[in-house]
Amino acid sequence: MRQKLVLLGAVFSCALAALLVSVAPADGQRRPRRAPVPDDAPERPENETACNYQDPQDFMIRENFLANWKQPRDEQQRRRKLQREAVRYRTEQYGYFEGFGNPRWNKHAPTHYAKRVQFMDLPIRVNEKIIPALECVEAQLRAECTEPVYTPRRLSGIRTKNTYHNGQASNHIYGIAVDVDPLLNTCCMCVAQWGDHPLCQNEVESIYERMEMPPCWVHVFERFGFYWLGRDSLQDTMHFEFLGDPNHILKTTGDPPHMAEALAAERAVQEEREAEERAAAEAEAARIAAEREAELEAARQAEERAAAARAEAAAAQQAAAAEEVATTSERPQANRGCSVSAPGL
């Protein structure tokens, strides 16, 4: 018995050592620290595309349903329930992948819905449902992300093998994830060898310093229902996954239901902004009208003063003339002939 325990202990030690070697950083390397993720998304411009703006659905975001032993039991249960909901939703919308969910929810595999398309002049296979969203993303990337221009070299879409562990399903298996240039845009907190990338070994002030893709790409993708896994604990900067509503990508399909509250808030803000602009315009118009009225009133008063001055001058002139006439009439007149008679001679 003792020999068996010793043997089992030796086997376990060897297995553990092999595991540590497989996940340990390379010589001279260290596990990278998480980089700060800026909350710097600019205000969304007016939407002139064919697609709705939409956010990822909360229950689909990996960080929202991952459970761990540090969490209270009820929180772990809540998250596992959320994860089951996410699996069912993806199965119903994108296909059944063996080992996740139930084939009764969708009789087809995700590959049944996969289509080969061009994105930024590169081929990629994705689920056909998200193609309109990718088209809108590409149009805006070309229109907005011009300084600097980023030209991707490699894309990765649907996969037939799940690359996640611990009971998680990668969104690549559903054809709703896109990796952009895996060798240039890092995943520093993924498996150990990925953390050996030179960009991961540097201390940085922003996660953007660990990728070649410009932040503009992140901001554009995120407008159209994609979630950037750079925000995830994995800090997978190459990875975008569509977590919006695939049935409401185009404007012609109406607003995504999960966006009702956000859209109502946006409309309220827009209406408030428009009301403020109207009030400001009305106030400016009233100011201009008041200034004009003041100018007209000042002109009227100036004319009245000028008229009064002219009338006063005319009156003074008339008074002077009348006084002159009166003075002339009162002056004694000179003798017109000689009236003294001389004595007789």
DSSP per residue, 2-61: HHHHHHHHHHHHHHHHHHHHHHSPPTT--PPPPPP----PPPPPP--SSBPPBPPPGGG-
Q: What was the pLDDT predicted at 25? A: 47
pLDDT in tens, 321-336: 888 888 877 666 555 5
Q: How far apart are CA 343 and CA 56, in angstroms?
A: 145
Name the helix (H) or strand (E) containing 126.
Answer: strand 122-127
Q: Which one-letter amino acid corresponds to residue 222?
A: E
Q: What was the pLDDT predicted at 331? A: 64
Q: CA Rg, the chain, in Å?
A: 43
Q: What was the pLDDT predicted at 216? A: 97
Residue 17, beta-bridge partner list: none
* In the chain, where the domains are located: 24-253, 255-301
Pair 117, 127: CB distance under 8 Å = no
Q: What is the dihedral of CA 260, 261, 264, 268, to 10 degrees?
A: -170
Low-confidence residues of the chain: pLDDT under 50 = 1-26, 338, 340, 342, 344-345
Q: What was the pLDDT predicted at 29? A: 60
- pTM, whole model, 2 decimals? 0.74
Q: What is the dihedral of CA 227, 232, 235, 238, to 10 degrees?
A: -20
Q: What was the pLDDT predicted at 17? A: 35
